Structure 1
Amino acid sequence: MTDSRLTLSDAQRLVDEWIHTYGVRYFSPLTNMAVLTEEVGEVARLMARQYGDQSFKKSDEGRELADELADVLWVLLCIANQTGVDLEAALKKNLEKKTQRDQERHRSNPKLVVPEEEIESKK
């Protein structure tokens, strides 16, 4: 059985191939930034309805969080491709930065500490 998982580099390459095969060309980076904002808004709308207090509307029918998140990832991959960013390398570097900067920060945040009674109740 073959592993069907994609690396970020694979995903960037597949998006680039799709754009050049079916999409004619990339939208301009500024247009893609606007499209990214629009797609993130669609994720926010769905999250507010699925996990928040807003009720669904007829226009929300058929929308799936996975698909909306994939739309965000798609545009992000497009922006990375057209600006020469290797997302795999960038993510690794970003994780290193966060580890150095935040290795104790979150553990010492009283807002994130799980109350002892909650730990006990799960035993």
Structure 2
Amino acid sequence: MENTIYTTKEIQERVDQYIGQFKEGYFSPLSLMARLTEETGELAREVNHYYGEKPKKKTEKEKSMEEELGDIIFVLTCFANSLNMDLSDCFHRAITKIETRDKDRWTKKDDLHQ
């Protein structure tokens, strides 16, 4: 497997190049939301197989959590691109909110360099 590191900008550009080949273009936001829900369900199923009480049937196809997370990243990127949103900006807004709102919510480690 290729071990390339992509920036969010590169991810968005690569997805846009891929989708841009097709006349249909991006799905509507509602369809993308349904697709994201479907992919999240597939990740939940894999987590349940690996960490839960529900082992896979012998007839079930082998998938990985990495594959399912990748599918989620792809659909999220399609969502952002279809709405002309920058994923880096979306992440910056989220992490700033979380770092501010939750800065005293959790027990800090004594030495952050452990």
Amino acid at match of 2:68: E
- Name the one with the larger helix percent: 1
Question: Number of residue pairs matched?
Answer: 107
On the 8 A contact 1:19/1:26 being kept in 2, the answer is yes
Q: 1:68 maps to what in 2?
A: 68
C-alpha displacement of 1:69: 0.8
Q: 2:25 maps to what in 1?
A: 25
Which residues in structure 2 correspond to 1:78-93 (within 5 Å)? 78-93=78-93
Q: TM-score of the superposition, structure 1-length normalised?
A: 0.78
Runs of 4+ in 1 over 4 A off after TM superposition: none
TM-align CA RMSD: 2.0
C-alpha displacement of 1:89: 1.3
Structure 2: runs of 5 or more not aligned: 110-114
Q: 1:95 maps to what in 2?
A: 95
Percent identity (aligned): 36
Q: Which digits, 9 at most, give the CA deviation of each residue in 1:68-107, with x for residues without a partner?
A: 1101110000000011211101111211111111111112
C-alpha displacement of 1:24: 4.1
Which structure would you say has the larger Rg? 1
Structure 1: runs of 5 or more not aligned: 114-123
